[in-house]
């Protein structure tokens, strides 16, 4: 059974004028997959990601996460699932500015009620794995974009989630660090088997994932297997941007 | 719910301490409110004590009467007649009005010279009866007060006030047994009265020499006349009613028209004390009104700034929500921030104002003025409880707004 199963997901935003964003999404994503959802802006890819991350509700259809129906959850239940099952990586990093790198990484464990000492140890362990141990006590404004995103990745990983959702993770990075971040995500997927879903509009980013889901005007267009990254016209030596 | 374990507390303190200027500005409103409230309430009670010192030792239920010229013709007498109380009025009044406890005659002469051992000073000489001490309590340091026996045997004895003592006996020590001379007559000192009251009848008690009333009358040729009658009412009786009874009884005896209000001057200390009491009650109400108002304004300030803060922290709260904080955790955090902020700034204000009031007290003690500006424990307790309640109330609105922030809002503010 797939980790994520979507059946006929519909979502309409109603800000004065109804906007039908998702028009019946059917999708299966298995455990350990490294997937990208690709589409132009306004295609509904971010909305889909928000629904996958239980940050937003959907109007009709069914969303099964690890065999559990995610529908009309209370905020508390949603928070619990997000905390235990899902890690988030954002385009603008979304680190808390007045906390140091290690404190930012610790925060999800704080909400799990893990003791200060244990969560500090785990955060430091993770940061050193990502080569950031010397930056642990720095505040986000003292870090480069790539370092910030790696801190954010560490924060997403600290709870050992089943899924990592990345919303334009390279959107604020230059091409070199973009590549590094994507390689990091790829190796995390290979090493720990965590399911990674990346939302992007950049083909180069999508190309570094194993499966590309094209979304257009709220409908899934095609699903492309991308096992051999170098075969793709965007692969090989093409620069990401 | 993990609302108040050490870890959450640390998280809250970190959030507060890492946003120093915001925290300081928010806390200042409450700080100022508490500070003002305590300073004003301390100042008010101190002033009240300062003023009360003037009435020290004076019976609060006494009535003083002085005869004045009549303004109405009555029973063949013309208007404008001068009349006097007489010594037998004392027993007459006691018999006529059973509610009266003590009736004491007072005669006085101002600006008399007292000499002892080559030194002299001027003061007021008063003729009093033994039970005058009920009206104005002396505080005897040496010897005793005028006694019934002094009056019965017409002894030439005196009780001197503090300033007279200092002038005539600069070397200090017990003045009793010495003879001082006033207007050619020698009186043996039997007591020293060091009371401080400023409201003494016929002059300050520190500049007074008290002698038995009958001695006074014979030395100064008063005949049977008494200048002033001081009396106290028994507890439970209405002094304003007794005041009128006294007036009518004396008018009847001395043939004054019953409706001649100006023929006798009456001072009712109960009414006067009630007036002062009312004044201070009013001042107190004002202090609490202004103080609580300031405190309330401070709390509203906290609420307001927290409100803006929550708006400003939408992203932060959104992130916290996205990575697993439940709405109740966010609610708890904002509420705790508000309560801790209010309580700690209130506590600092409490400490500082108590310290300042202690300093004032120390200065007062140095000046040998016995009065305390310090706030009571009850006041501090009430302030503390009010603060906690205000902190919670102030945190409510911002906390609920923060709770309503959805995690997607974190990503919207890019």
What whole-number distance in Å separates Cα of residue B30 and Cα of residue B349? 8
Chain segment B246-273, per-residue pLDDT in tens: 899 989 888 888 888 888 888 888 887 7
Assign B197 a pLDDT band (cuts: 50, 70, 90): low
Does any domain span residue B262? no
Residues B241 and B389 in one domain: no
Which residue pairs, CB below 8 angstroms and at least 24 apart, start in B330-333? B330/B399, B330/B402, B330/B403, B330/B405, B331/B399, B331/B400, B331/B402, B331/B403, B332/B1, B332/B3, B332/B8, B333/B8, B333/B11, B333/B12, B333/B15, B333/B402
From chain B, which residues contact A within 8 Å (Cβ)?
2, 7, 10-11, 14-15, 18-19, 315-316, 318-329, 406-408, 410-411, 414
Does any domain span residue B372? yes
Q: Do A99 and B319 touch (CB under 8 A)?
A: no
Q: Kindly state whether A155 is in contact with chain B, defined as any CB-CB distance less than 8 angstroms.
A: yes
Contact by Cβ (8 Å): B353, B375:
yes
ipTM, two decimals, is 0.85
Which of A94, A98, A110 lies at the smallest CB-CB distance from B319? A94
Residues B382 and B282 in one domain: yes
SS3 at position A38: strand
Which residue pairs, CB below 8 angstroms and at least 24 apart, start in A131-137? A132/A101, A135/A101, A136/A100, A136/A101, A136/A102, A137/A100, A137/A101, A137/A102
Chain segment B280-301, per-residue pLDDT in tens: 888 888 888 888 888 888 888 8
Polymer length in residues for chain A: 241
Testing the interface with A: which of B322, B325, B333 to mutate, by most A Cβ within 10 A?
A: B322
Q: What residues of B are in contact with residue A92 (Cβ under 8 Å)?
A: 411, 414
Q: Kindly state whether A144 is in contact with chain B, defined as any CB-CB distance less than 8 angstroms.
A: no
Does any domain span residue B106? yes
Q: Do A79 and B406 touch (CB under 8 A)?
A: no
Residues B138 and B15 in one domain: no
Q: Do B406 and A155 touch (CB under 8 A)?
A: no
Residues B288 and B397 in one domain: yes
Which of B315, B324, B326 lies at the smallest CB-CB distance from A94? B315
Q: What is the pLDDT of residue B200?
A: 62
Provide the number of CB pairs (under 8 Å) joining chain A to chain B: 79
Chain segment B105-153, per-residue pLDDT in tens: 988 888 888 888 888 888 889 898 988 888 888 888 888 999 999 989 9
Q: Nearest-CA neighbor of A159 among A128, A126, A182?
A: A126
The chain A residue lying nearest B10, using CA atoms, is A116
| Tally of domains in chain A | 1
Which of A46, A79, A159 lies at the smallest CB-CB distance from B325? A79
Contact by Cβ (8 Å): A179, A234:
no
Does the pLDDT value for residue B157 go beyond 90? yes
Q: What is the pLDDT of residue A1?
A: 67
- Low-confidence winner among A224-233, B233-242, B327-336 (lowest mean pLDDT): A224-233
Q: What is the pLDDT of residue B411?
A: 64
Chain segment B340-399, per-residue pLDDT in tens: 888 888 889 989 998 998 888 888 888 777 777 888 888 888 888 888 888 888 888 888
Q: What residues of B are in contact with residue A45 (Cβ under 8 Å)?
A: none
Does any domain span residue A47? yes
Does the pLDDT value for residue A92 go beyond 90? no
The chain B residue lying nearest A77, using CA atoms, is B326
Residues B227 and B106 in one domain: yes
Does any domain span residue A70? no
Tokens of A97: 């500015």
A contact residues 17-46, partner B, Cβ 8 Å cutoff: 46
Chain segment B31-69, per-residue pLDDT in tens: 888 888 888 888 888 888 887 777 766 777 888 888 888
Does the pLDDT value for residue B198 go beyond 70? no
Residues B367 and B236 in one domain: no
Residues B111 and B247 in one domain: yes
Does any domain span residue A200? yes
The chain B residue lying nearest A50, using CA atoms, is B408
Tokens of B295: 């405190």
Percent of chain B with pLDDT over 70: 95
Domain housing A50: 33-55+75-225
Angle between helix axes B89-96 and B239-254 (nearest 10 degrees) is: 130
Chain segment B239-250, per-residue pLDDT in tens: 788 888 889 998
Q: Do A55 and B408 touch (CB under 8 A)?
A: yes
Question: Smallest CA–CA separation between B1 and chain A, in Å?
Answer: 10
Which of A50, A103, A112 lies at the smallest CB-CB distance from B408? A50
Does any domain span residue A126? yes
Does any domain span residue B279? yes
DSSP state letters, B28-47: HHHHHHHHHHHHHHHHHHHH
Question: Smallest CA–CA separation between A87 and chain B, in Å?
Answer: 7
DSSP designation for B112: E
Chain segment B28-39, per-residue pLDDT in tens: 888 888 888 888
Q: What is the pLDDT of residue B414?
A: 44
Q: What is the pLDDT of residue B5?
A: 65
Q: What is the pLDDT of residue A236?
A: 45
Q: What residues of A are in contact with residue B325 (Cβ under 8 Å)?
A: 79, 83, 111
Does the pLDDT value for residue B210 go beyond 60? yes
Contact by Cβ (8 Å): B391, B339:
yes
What whole-number distance in Å separates Cα of residue B152 and Cα of residue B154? 6
Contact by Cβ (8 Å): A145, A177:
yes
Does any domain span residue A238? no
A contact residues 169-208, partner B, Cβ 8 Å cutoff: none
What whole-number distance in Å separates Cα of residue B404 and Cα of residue A111? 18
Q: How high does pLDDT run on average in chain B? A: 84
Residues B249 and B220 in one domain: yes
Q: Kindly state whether A79 is in contact with chain B, defined as any CB-CB distance less than 8 angstroms.
A: yes
Q: What is the pLDDT of residue A229?
A: 66
Q: What is the pLDDT of residue B413?
A: 47
Q: What is the mean pLDDT of residues A63-78?
A: 89
Residues B39 and B93 in one domain: no
Q: What residues of B are in contact with residue A171 (Cβ under 8 Å)?
A: none
Beta strand B119-128 pairing with B208-212: parallel
Does any domain span residue B312? yes
Assign A235 a pLDDT band (cuts: 50, 70, 90): very low
* Helix boundaries (H) for B71-110: 89-96
Q: What's the Cα-to-Cα distance from A224 to each of A9, A211, A227, A234, B74, rounded to whole Å?
A: 21, 6, 9, 13, 127
Percent of chain A with pLDDT over 70: 94
Which of B329, B410, B414 lies at the smallest CB-CB distance from A111? B329
Question: Smallest CA–CA separation between A152 and chain B, in Å?
Answer: 11
Chain segment A162-183, per-residue pLDDT in tens: 999 998 888 888 888 888 888 8
Q: Do B324 and A80 touch (CB under 8 A)?
A: yes
Q: What residues of A are in contact with residue B320 (Cβ under 8 Å)?
A: 96, 107, 111
Assign A40 a pLDDT band (cuts: 50, 70, 90): confident
DSSP state letters, A81-132: HHHHHEEEE-TT----TTS-HHHHHHHHHHHHT--HHHHHHHHHHHHHHTT-
Residues B318 and B215 in one domain: no
Residues B126 and B35 in one domain: no
- Rounded to the nearest 5 percent, the helix, strand and coil shares of chain B are 55, 20, 25
Residues B177 and B219 in one domain: yes
Which of B7, B18, B319 lies at the smallest CB-CB distance from A98? B18
SS3 at position B85: strand
Does the pLDDT value for residue B2 go beyond 60? no
Q: CB-based contacts of B305: which residues, under 8 Å, 6+ apart? A: B22, B25, B26, B29
Contact by Cβ (8 Å): B116, B169:
yes
Does the pLDDT value for residue A197 go beyond 90? yes
A12 beta partners: A20
Q: Return the CATH number at A194.
A: 3.40.50.300
Does the pLDDT value for residue B212 go beyond 90? yes
Q: What residues of A are in contact with residue B18 (Cβ under 8 Å)?
A: 98-99
| Tally of domains in chain B | 2
Q: What is the pLDDT of residue B404?
A: 85
Domain housing B193: 84-255
Q: What's the Cα-to-Cα distance from A119 to each of A95, A113, B9, B31, rounded to whole Å?
A: 17, 9, 16, 36
Which of A79, A92, A116 lies at the smallest CB-CB distance from B414? A92
Q: Nearest-CA neighbor of B201 among B229, B220, B243, B222?
A: B229
Angle between helix axes B20-52 and B377-403 (nearest 10 degrees) is: 150
pTM of the model: 0.66
Domain boundary among B221, B255, B289: B255
What whole-number distance in Å separates Cα of residue B209 and Cα of residue B122? 10
Q: Do A55 and B10 touch (CB under 8 A)?
A: no
What whole-number distance in Å separates Cα of residue B11 and Cα of residue A240? 40
Does the pLDDT value for residue B15 go beyond 90? no
Testing the interface with B: which of A45, A50, A55 to mutate, by most B Cβ within 10 A?
A: A55
DSSP designation for A178: H
């Amino acid at each position: 059974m797939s980790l994520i199963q979507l059946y006929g997901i519909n979502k309409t935003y109603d800000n004065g004028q109804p906007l039908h964003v998702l028009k019946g999404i059917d999708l299966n994503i298995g455990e350990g997959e490294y997937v990208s959802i690709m589409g132009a802006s306004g295609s509904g890819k971010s909305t889909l990601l928000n629904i996958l991350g239980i940050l937003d509700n959907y109007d009709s259809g069914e969303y099964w996460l690890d065999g559990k129906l995610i529908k009309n959850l209370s905020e508390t239940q949603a928070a619990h699932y997000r905390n235990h099952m899902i890690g988030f990586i954002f385009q603008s990093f979304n680190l808390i500015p007045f906390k140091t790198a290690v404190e930012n990484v610790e925060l999800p464990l704080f909400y799990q009620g893990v003791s200060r000492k244990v969560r500090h140890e785990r955060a430091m362990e993770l940061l050193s794995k990502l080569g950031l141990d010397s930056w642990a006590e720095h505040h986000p404004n003292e870090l480069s974009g790539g370092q910030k995103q790696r801190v954010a990745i560490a924060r997403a990983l600290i709870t050992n989630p089943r899924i990592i959702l990345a919303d334009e993770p390279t959107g604020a990075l230059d091409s070199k660090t973009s590549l590094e971040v994507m390689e990091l995500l790829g190796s995390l997927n290979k090493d720990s088997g965590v399911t990674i879903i990346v939302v992007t509009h950049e083909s180069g980013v999508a190309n570094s994932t194993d499966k590309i889901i094209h979304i257009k005007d709220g409908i899934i267009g095609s699903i492309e297997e991308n096992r051999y990254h170098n075969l793709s016209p965007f692969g090989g030596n093409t620069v990401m941007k | 719910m993990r609302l108040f374990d050490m870890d959450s507390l640390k998280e809250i303190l970190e959030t507060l301490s890492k946003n120093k200027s915001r925290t300081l500005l928010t806390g200042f409103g409450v700080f100022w409110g508490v500070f003002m409230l305590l300073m004003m309430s301390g100042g008010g009670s101190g002033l009240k004590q300062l003023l009360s010192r003037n009435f020290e030792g004076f019976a609060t239920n006494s009535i003083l009467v002085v005869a004045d010229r009549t303004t109405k013709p009555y029973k063949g007498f013309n208007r404008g007649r001068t009349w006097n109380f007489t010594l037998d009025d004392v027993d007459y009044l006691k018999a006529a009005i059973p509610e009266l406890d003590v009736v004491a005659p007072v005669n006085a002469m101002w600006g008399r010279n007292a000499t002892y051992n080559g030194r002299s000073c001027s003061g007021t000489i008063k003729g009093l009866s033994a039970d005058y001490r009920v009206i104005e309590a002396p505080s005897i340091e040496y010897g005793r007060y005028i006694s019934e026996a002094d009056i019965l045997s017409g002894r030439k004895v005196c009780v001197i006030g503090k300033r007279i003592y200092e002038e005539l006996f600069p070397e200090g020590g017990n003045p009793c047994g010495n003879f001082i001379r006033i207007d050619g007559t020698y009186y043996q000192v039997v007591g020293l009265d060091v009371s401080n009251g400023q409201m003494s009848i016929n002059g300050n008690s520190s500049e007074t020499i008290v002698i038995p009333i009958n001695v006074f009358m014979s030395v100064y040729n008063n005949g049977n006349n008494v200048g002033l009658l001081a009396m106290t009412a028994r507890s439970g009786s209405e002094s304003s009613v007794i005041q009128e009874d006294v007036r009518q009884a004396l008018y009847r005896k001395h043939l004054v028209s019953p409706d001649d209000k100006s023929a006798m001057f009456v001072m009712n200390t109960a009414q006067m004390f009630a007036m002062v009491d009312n004044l201070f009650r009013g001042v107190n109400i004002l202090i609490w009104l202004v103080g609580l108002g300031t405190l309330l304004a401070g709390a509203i300030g906290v609420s307001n700034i927290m409100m803006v803060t929550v708006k400003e922290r939408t992203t932060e709260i959104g992130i916290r929500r996205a990575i697993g904080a439940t709405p109740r955790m966010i609610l708890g955090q904002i509420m705790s921030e508000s309560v801790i902020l209010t309580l700690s700034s209130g506590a600092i204000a409490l400490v500082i104002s108590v310290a300042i009031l202690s300093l004032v007290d120390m200065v007062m003690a140095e000046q040998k003025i016995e009065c305390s500006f310090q706030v009571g424990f009850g006041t501090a307790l009430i302030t503390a409880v009010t603060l906690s309640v205000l902190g919670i109330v102030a945190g409510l609105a911002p906390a609920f707004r923060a709770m309503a922030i959805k995690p997607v809002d974190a990503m919207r503010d890019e």
